[in-house]
Amino acid sequence: MPIVRIDIRRNPDPTYVKRVGNVVYESMKSAINVPDHDNFQVLNEHDEHHLVYDPTYLGIARTDGIVIIQITLNEGRTVEQKQKLYRTIADGLQKELGVRQEDVFIGLVEVKKENWSFGNGIAQYAT
Protein backbone atom coordinates (compact mmCIF):
# COMPACT_ATOMS: atom_id res chain seq x y z
CA MET A 1 0.00 0.00 0.00
CA PRO A 2 2.22 2.80 -1.15
CA ILE A 3 1.29 6.41 -0.64
CA VAL A 4 2.97 8.73 -3.12
CA ARG A 5 3.71 12.42 -2.75
CA ILE A 6 4.71 14.29 -5.89
CA ASP A 7 5.95 17.88 -5.80
CA ILE A 8 6.64 20.01 -8.86
CA ARG A 9 6.90 23.66 -9.85
CA ARG A 10 3.54 25.03 -10.96
CA ASN A 11 2.86 23.92 -14.52
CA PRO A 12 0.62 25.75 -17.00
CA ASP A 13 -0.96 22.43 -18.00
CA PRO A 14 -3.56 21.60 -15.31
CA THR A 15 -3.32 17.87 -16.16
CA TYR A 16 0.47 17.66 -15.94
CA VAL A 17 0.94 16.62 -12.31
CA LYS A 18 -1.84 14.01 -12.55
CA ARG A 19 -0.11 12.56 -15.63
CA VAL A 20 3.14 12.42 -13.62
CA GLY A 21 1.20 10.50 -10.98
CA ASN A 22 -0.12 8.08 -13.59
CA VAL A 23 3.41 7.31 -14.77
CA VAL A 24 4.55 6.71 -11.19
CA TYR A 25 1.60 4.40 -10.47
CA GLU A 26 2.10 2.36 -13.66
CA SER A 27 5.82 2.14 -12.86
CA MET A 28 5.10 0.84 -9.36
CA LYS A 29 2.74 -1.77 -10.80
CA SER A 30 5.32 -3.05 -13.28
CA ALA A 31 8.51 -2.70 -11.22
CA ILE A 32 7.46 -3.63 -7.67
CA ASN A 33 4.16 -5.45 -8.19
CA VAL A 34 1.80 -2.88 -6.68
CA PRO A 35 -1.72 -4.24 -7.32
CA ASP A 36 -4.51 -2.64 -9.30
CA HIS A 37 -6.56 -0.08 -7.36
CA ASP A 38 -3.74 0.48 -4.83
CA ASN A 39 -3.28 4.08 -5.93
CA PHE A 40 -3.05 6.81 -3.28
CA GLN A 41 -1.28 10.05 -4.20
CA VAL A 42 -0.88 13.59 -2.94
CA LEU A 43 -0.05 15.89 -5.85
CA ASN A 44 1.39 19.34 -5.13
CA GLU A 45 2.39 22.26 -7.32
CA HIS A 46 4.52 25.08 -5.91
CA ASP A 47 5.60 28.54 -6.93
CA GLU A 48 9.31 29.37 -7.19
CA HIS A 49 9.49 30.28 -3.48
CA HIS A 50 8.06 27.02 -2.16
CA LEU A 51 10.04 24.28 -3.89
CA VAL A 52 13.70 24.32 -2.94
CA TYR A 53 16.33 22.08 -4.51
CA ASP A 54 20.07 22.17 -5.10
CA PRO A 55 20.72 22.48 -8.85
CA THR A 56 24.06 20.61 -8.74
CA TYR A 57 24.01 18.19 -5.77
CA LEU A 58 26.09 15.06 -6.54
CA GLY A 59 27.07 16.58 -9.90
CA ILE A 60 23.57 16.22 -11.34
CA ALA A 61 22.37 19.33 -13.24
CA ARG A 62 18.77 19.96 -12.15
CA THR A 63 16.31 22.51 -13.54
CA ASP A 64 12.99 24.01 -12.49
CA GLY A 65 11.44 20.99 -14.22
CA ILE A 66 12.38 18.90 -11.18
CA VAL A 67 9.88 16.27 -10.10
CA ILE A 68 10.27 15.24 -6.46
CA ILE A 69 8.65 11.90 -5.70
CA GLN A 70 8.40 10.40 -2.22
CA ILE A 71 6.96 6.91 -1.93
CA THR A 72 6.08 5.44 1.46
CA LEU A 73 5.67 1.67 1.19
CA ASN A 74 6.02 -1.60 3.06
CA GLU A 75 9.57 -2.66 3.74
CA GLY A 76 10.99 -5.72 2.04
CA ARG A 77 11.79 -4.88 -1.58
CA THR A 78 15.23 -5.85 -2.83
CA VAL A 79 17.82 -3.34 -3.99
CA GLU A 80 17.28 -4.66 -7.52
CA GLN A 81 13.52 -4.00 -7.32
CA LYS A 82 14.16 -0.48 -6.07
CA GLN A 83 16.66 0.20 -8.84
CA LYS A 84 14.16 -1.11 -11.40
CA LEU A 85 11.51 1.21 -9.93
CA TYR A 86 13.79 4.26 -10.17
CA ARG A 87 14.71 3.45 -13.76
CA THR A 88 11.12 2.70 -14.79
CA ILE A 89 9.84 5.98 -13.33
CA ALA A 90 12.65 8.06 -14.89
CA ASP A 91 12.24 6.38 -18.29
CA GLY A 92 8.45 6.71 -18.18
CA LEU A 93 8.51 10.39 -17.24
CA GLN A 94 10.99 11.12 -20.01
CA LYS A 95 9.03 9.18 -22.61
CA GLU A 96 5.51 10.31 -21.65
CA LEU A 97 6.12 13.90 -20.50
CA GLY A 98 9.59 14.89 -21.69
CA VAL A 99 10.96 15.16 -18.15
CA ARG A 100 14.74 15.23 -18.10
CA GLN A 101 16.03 12.19 -16.21
CA GLU A 102 18.30 14.51 -14.23
CA ASP A 103 15.15 16.17 -12.88
CA VAL A 104 13.62 12.98 -11.46
CA PHE A 105 14.30 12.87 -7.70
CA ILE A 106 12.89 9.83 -5.88
CA GLY A 107 12.95 8.95 -2.19
CA LEU A 108 11.56 5.74 -0.70
CA VAL A 109 10.36 5.56 2.91
CA GLU A 110 9.96 1.96 4.06
CA VAL A 111 7.67 1.12 6.98
CA LYS A 112 6.50 -2.03 8.73
CA LYS A 113 3.07 -3.34 7.71
CA GLU A 114 1.53 -2.58 11.11
CA ASN A 115 2.14 1.13 10.51
CA TRP A 116 -0.86 1.44 8.16
CA SER A 117 -4.53 2.08 8.77
CA PHE A 118 -6.64 2.10 5.63
CA GLY A 119 -9.70 3.37 7.46
CA ASN A 120 -12.00 2.62 10.38
CA GLY A 121 -9.18 3.13 12.89
CA ILE A 122 -7.92 -0.40 12.26
CA ALA A 123 -4.40 -1.58 11.46
CA GLN A 124 -5.55 -3.98 8.75
CA TYR A 125 -2.09 -5.48 8.15
CA ALA A 126 -1.12 -5.91 11.84
CA THR A 127 -0.58 -9.53 12.79
Q: According to the model, what pLDDT value does residue 12 have?
A: 96
| Residue 125, domain member (yes or no) | no
| Residue 75, domain member (yes or no) | yes
Reported pTM: 0.94
Which CATH number does the domain housing residue 74 bear?
Answer: 3.30.429.10
| Residue 65, domain member (yes or no) | yes
Strand order in the sheet with 3-9: 41-46, 3-9, 67-74, 104-111
| Residue 127, domain member (yes or no) | no
Q: According to the model, what pLDDT value does residue 53 have?
A: 97
Q: According to the model, what pLDDT value does residue 114 have?
A: 92
| Residue 44, domain member (yes or no) | yes
Quote the number of domains for the chain.
Answer: 1
- What is the domain extent for residue 68? 3-115
| Residue 120, domain member (yes or no) | no
Could you tell me whether strands 104-111 and 41-46 are parallel, antiparallel, or unpaired per DSSP bridges? unpaired
Q: According to the model, what pLDDT value does residue 112 have?
A: 93
One digit per residue, pLDDT tens: the chain, 127 residues? 899 999 999 999 999 999 999 999 999 999 999 999 999 999 999 999 999 999 999 999 999 999 999 999 999 999 999 999 999 999 999 999 999 999 999 999 999 989 998 899 999 888 7
Concerning whether 2 is annotated as a catalytic residue, the answer is yes
Catalytic one of 2, 14, 35, 55: 2
Contacts of 90 (CB under 8 A, 6+ apart): 99, 101, 104, 106
| Residue 126, domain member (yes or no) | no
| Residue 10, domain member (yes or no) | yes
